[in-house]
Structure 1
Amino acid sequence: MMGGHAERDHALFSASGAHRWLECPGSILLEKDFPDTSSDAAAEGTLAHELAEMKAVNYFYPAVISKKKITYAVKKMKENELWDDEMLVHTDTYVDYIRDVSMKLPSQPRMDAEHKWDYGKYMPPGYEAEGFGTADCTMVQGEKLFVIDFKYGKSPDGRVSAEHNPQLMLYALGAYEVYKLLYPIKEVHLAIVQPRLTDGISEWECGINDILEFGGYVKERAALAVSGNAGYSPGVKTCKYCRARAVCRARSDHNVKQAFTLGEMPPLITNNEVGERLMAMRDVVTYQKDLQDYALKECLAGKEVQGWKAVEGKGKRDWTNQDAALSKLTKSGVIEEEVLWEKVPLTLAQIEKAVGAKDFHDAVGEFVIKKAGAPTLAEESDKRKAITNKVTAEEAFKEEK
């Protein structure tokens, strides 16, 4: 059961990609022959999920996963270059949330960790085997069904909301099909736990009829996706993880239009126009980068991309043997050894990683402050508090006093 996160099968109609194929059904067939890729961030998330799964199972079923087994597993995990002691803290936050939810129930719920749920009945004929997804934590008790998802991303731009979340709602559909024979489910509680973000918990609840109504919508969109007449809906979030994003004609046309079809330009644009154009062009830069990466890959493979070629970038000099070179310099008397070295302390984050988060906090936590980050632009829907350099009347009055 444990440690198979990276090797899991991926469904054509995956739950994790539901936000994309429900919004852009044409992407299902468009991207299916493109290779799946991974990243260090994804691999780091996989490692954290494996630890989170073990801790959740240990809490509910200690006979299945003992503390001793977790200790041994963590020892092995620490050999992974992506390991960070913060994983111990963040996975505790996730399991603490699950524990708190379960303790409020009349009796201990049934809990399934990293369970593969099948929602194939909502898929088109012939594609029933392509509708499934693995939920981090599913619990059921009496009339209540809980779906809890662990997200390990740390970028505020990657904050995920549980409200009407299609990934979690698909898990709920699959879980309901199994649980409905044993439990009179009426309420569905969805939650996202993102422990690396401030206020990283999002919750939403609805009735089971809302989930079943969503299932009808899924069935319509999935059928459209394989009909051959599906449309495309390019956008920042829709295209972000689509494997065909670099060469999708709909996305290309959309971004070229946003970049160049601006109409007659007045001498100065208003703030409203600034906002509108930023919103319209928010995917243009990302698309250009995706297109450049794809073109470089094609050129390196010996294929022709009209007007472009792959060339060697700016190189840099390096030692073949640094120790031998520095030794020769000092022995020759050209330079003093002290001049060759600069004593610089590790960064705060590096020291914390070397010491361990808990020991670091206990030892020197009193000397650590968190400075405000530099102002950055975000969409109005972002949950972070807006800041301004404008002095309020209240602040001005305080200064006068």
Structure 2
Amino acid sequence: MPPNNHAILSASSSHRWLNCNPSTRLEQEFADRESEAAAEGTAAHALAEHKLRKALKMRSKKPISRFDCDEMDTYTDAYVQFVLEALSEAKQNCSDPTVLIEQKLDFSCYVPDGFGTGDCIIAADKLLHIIDFKYGQGVLVNAEENPQMMLYALGALWLFDSLYDIEAVSMSIFQPRRENVSTWSISVKALNEWAENTLIPKALLAFSGEGEYHPGAWCQFCKAAVKCRARAEEKLQLAKYEFAQPPLLTDADIEDILGRLDDLTKWANEIMAYAQDAAVNHGKQWHGYKLVESRTNRRYTDEDAVIKAAKSAGYHDIFKHSLIPITEMEKLMGKKTFAEVLGAFVEKPQGKPTLVPASDKRPAITFTGAENDFTEFKGD
């Protein structure tokens, strides 16, 4: 299992401190709070580690947690299979590859006091393979130019560069709950150049708490995000539009707003959640606001007693029947049987047009002649 202590400049938070250098020191003013999702992820990693050790004929005791379920079993099995396939590929070019599981990796020669824990490292001639198991499903994680993986790669190279003739590093994100397997490779030379030219100077700034605050997507897991003034100022820049009606805004204005809306909404929700938690759990009183009981719906206290009483009163048509959802049905039957038995009765309707950022991986819809149907409002 990975160590409980954390580096100040951790690999897992590197996306943030490389972009917003002082954020790590600012975070130290806030207490650590493990979310339910984080606890579930820790349990999944422990189970995946155990299964991988057993598959590699290593001694291991199966961990037990309150999150144990068929779904976690399925996803951790898939992770183990992915690692074994990667190991098989490594053996094609190297007779004695090394596999390390939950290995502490030291990259302090680049990042002050820097270390992290790699889920799986496969070291072989020519290629070093870093594999990271992501059990979360909220954020899709990409391996391309992923700084966490690149830091792990630097730490692994320090361990193995003298033992193997390593020319490149392959980095894989295995995120089964998002059906996401992302792999990216970089030469050792290019990785070292990134470390010297980008990593070292930014890490020094971050470690000393210097540099500029720079809000962005990396704010999501920052403990200081809710109270960060730089982030608030960035979101409140929308006030420059004075909440004018859309037809009075230029195309450039609307495009600017569209690019900010998702994060603005998320930030607003975080502010509300923080204020409510302070009021409910810490007695904080906010001027102009009060605590009230939320609206609730009626519910049965004892369903068996309800059924008995209703039937005794002569009411028998009290049940509602419905098919289980498609995903649950497919899991019940298995994909192959599901396709044979029910495939002819399942369709996937065409999705409604939805406006998303250009970075979205889905192909764009082309509307022929749609431009002629749009009447743009133009002011005097």
Shared fold (TM-score, shorter chain, > 0.5): yes
8 A Cα contact 1:298 1:305, kept in partner: no
**Under a length normalisation based on structure 2, what TM-score does the superposition of the two structures give?**
0.83
Does 1:308 find its partner at 2:318? no
Q: How far apart, CA to CA, are the structure 2 residues paired with 1:278 and 1:79?
A: 38
For 2:347 and 2:108, locate their aligned partners in 1 and report how far apart those are by CA, in whole Å: 48
Aligned match for 2:4, one of 5, 8, 23: 8
Instruction: Confirm or deny that 1:62 pairs with 2:57.
Output: yes
Q: Does 1:186 align with 2:167?
A: yes
State the AA in 2 paired with 1:62. Answer: K
User: Is the CA contact 1:119–1:170 (under 8 Å) kept in the aligned structure 2?
Assistant: yes
Q: What does 1:63-78 align with in structure 2 at a 5 Å threshold?
A: 63-64=58-59, 73=62
Q: CA deviation at 1:171?
A: 0.4
Q: Does 1:342 align with 2:320?
A: yes
Does 1:80 pair with 2:75? no
Residues 365/303 of structure 1: CA separation in 2 closer, same or farther (3 Å cut) = same
SS in 1 for 2:101: strand
Note the aligned Cα RMSD (angstroms). Answer: 3.1
Q: Secondary structure at the match of 1:22?
A: helix
1:93-149 Cα distance to aligned partner (Å, 9 max, x none): 53355245324423241111221111123334xxx2xx2111122121124322122
Alignment partner of 1:324 out of 305, 309, 331:
305
Identity among equivalent pairs (%): 34
Measure the CA separation in 2 of the matches of 1:274 and 1:196. Answer: 34
Contact 1:122 1:218 in 2 (8 A): yes
- 216-225 or 25-34, larger mean C-alpha shift: 216-225
Once residues 326 and 218 of structure 1 are traced to their aligned partners in structure 2, the CA distance between those partners, rounded to angstroms, is 66
Q: TM-score, normalised by structure 1?
A: 0.79
The equivalent residue for 1:177 is: 158
Where in structure 2 are the equivalents of 1:103-182 lying within 5 Å? 103-124=91-112, 128=113, 131-154=114-137, 158-182=139-163
Who is 2:240 aligned against? Answer: 261
State the distance in 1 between where 2:70 and 2:276 align: 28
Report how far residue 260 of structure 1 moved. Answer: 0.8
For the residue of structure 2 that corresponds to 1:282, the secondary structure is helix
Give the corresponding residue for 1:397: none
The aligned residue for residue 234 of structure 1 is 215
Question: What aligned pairs does 1:238-317 form with structure 2 within 5 A after superposition?
Answer: 238-257=218-237, 259-262=238-241, 267-269=247-249, 271-300=251-280, 301-317=282-298
- Partner residue of 2:45? 49
* 1:384 matched to 2:358: no
Task: Pick closer, same or farther for the CA change 1:100–1:194 going to 2, 3 Å.
Answer: farther
Change (3 A) 1:42 1:320: same
Question: Tell me, what secondary structure is at the counterpart of 2:109?
Answer: helix
Question: Does the 8 Å contact 2:14/2:147 carry over to 1?
Answer: yes
Give structure 2 stretches of 5+ with no counterpart: 371-380
* 2:44–2:72 Cα contact (<8 Å) kept: no
Aligned match of 2:374? none
Shift of 1:46: 3.3
Aligned residue identity for 2:227:
V
Aligned to 1:364: 338
Supply the distance in 1 between the matched residues of 2:329 and 2:42 (Cα, whole angstroms): 25
Task: Give me the whole-angstrom Cα distance separating, in 2, the residues matched to 1:262 and 1:93.
Answer: 53
